[in-house]
Amino acid sequence: MSEPIRPGVEVTERGNIYFFYRPAVGAETPQGLVDVQRCHLILSPEGTDVLRLLTIGKKRLPEPGDSAQRFWGFVKRVVDDPEELAEELEGGRDERDGRTRTPARPAGEGVYAIAVHGNHTHLLYALELPEEPDEVQRELHIVKEGAYLLSVKNPEAAAPPSAGLDEERKADFPPELQERFGDRRFLGVHPPAFLDHEGAEILLMGSADDPGEDLGVELDPERETEATADLFQELRIAREAHPVEPLLEGRWA
């Protein structure tokens, strides 16, 4: 999908976005960021069955307006079966790394757009749940309406020692995507197909751009309730396994 908005701005993808955090081992009832092990985004593009699970390395998002904050992350899972993603968000033992996991908590639901503006790619979102962000969203930097610069790392470029994914976990992009890097270490996420590959490493940076005023991108969030939340219907997660207080009220659970 390609959607011209105004000269120099093009929306390349829209869809639903979901925010989750996973409590640290032993922190069954988190009380703050210190009790969080992982922060995840899930992107569900319109017109496809694809679900992408992204992990953010700093356990929270960058401050949306702070371009000095550059947070590394990566695409952990790409699935077309919601049941596979539901299993990923459950507790139990992780077969990949052997760690014991506490079930992830939903911390937000909304709509998003990926927009290309010049040499930059923007990830824009508007929150639908909770109706008003509270303590959970404040600590995770999930705001009512957010804008970030989104880049993808060249898997063939060197990384600083002890930084990034191991070689065997890095994305293996098809030639038509890999060739776009040339000799660059980072590239705007254009096309969004870069995110359809597990192990794709990303960089999120706060942006002061307003989606509507500066870029002309209208996100059109809808009013949602627990009964109408797309999260439970689309992701098919078990409500009894994932406390909803963070999603509906912004309270830690």
- Please check whether residue 70 lies inside any domain of the structure: yes
CA-CA distances (angstroms) from residue 31 to 69, 84, 250?
A: 24, 29, 12
Report the alpha-carbon distance of residue 237 to residue 245 in Å, rounded: 15
Q: With respect to residue 253, please indicate whether it lies within any of the assigned structural domains.
A: no
Is the previous residue joined to 191 through a cis bond, with omega within 30 degrees of 0?
yes
DSSP strand pairing (201-206 vs 186-188): unpaired
Reported as a pLDDT band with limits 50, 70 and 90, residue 146 is very high
| pLDDT at residue 107 in the model | 98
Which residue stretches of the chain are H helix? 82-89, 135-140, 175-178, 230-235, 245-248
Q: CA of 167: how far to CAs of 54, 158, 171, 188, 198, in Å?
A: 18, 10, 9, 22, 13
27: domain range?
3-242
Mean pLDDT in residue range 14-37: 92
Does residue 232 lie in a domain region?
yes
Q: Which element (helix H / strand E) includes 56?
A: strand 51-56
Whether 251 maps to a domain, the answer reads no
Within a domain: 249 = no
User: What would the two tokens of residue 141 be?
Assistant: 């930097």
Give the separation between CA 165 and CA 80, rounded to whole angstroms. 24
**For residue 178, what is the DSSP state?**
H
Q: What is the pTM of this model?
A: 0.94
Surface-to-core class of residue 134, CB atoms within 10 Å of its CB (0-12 exposed, 13-18 middle, 19+ buried): middle
Paired with 122 in beta bridges are 115, 149
- Residue 238 clears pLDDT 90, i.e. is over it: no
For residue 82, is it within any domain? yes
Given a contact cutoff of 8 angstroms between Cβ atoms, the answer to whether 111 and 234 are in contact is no
Mean pLDDT to the nearest integer, 74-81: 97
Residue 132 lies in a domain: yes
Mean pLDDT of the 154-164 span: 83
Residue 39 has pLDDT above 90, yes or no: yes
Q: pLDDT value at position 169?
A: 94
- For the ranges 21-30, 178-187, 202-211, the maximum mean pLDDT occurs at 178-187
Q: How far apart are CA 22 and CA 36, in angstroms?
A: 6
Rounded distance, CA 242 to CA 77, Å?
19
Assess if residue 173 is contained within a domain: yes
d(CA 104, CA 133): 18
Report the domain count for the chain.
Answer: 1
In this structure, the chain runs to a length of 253
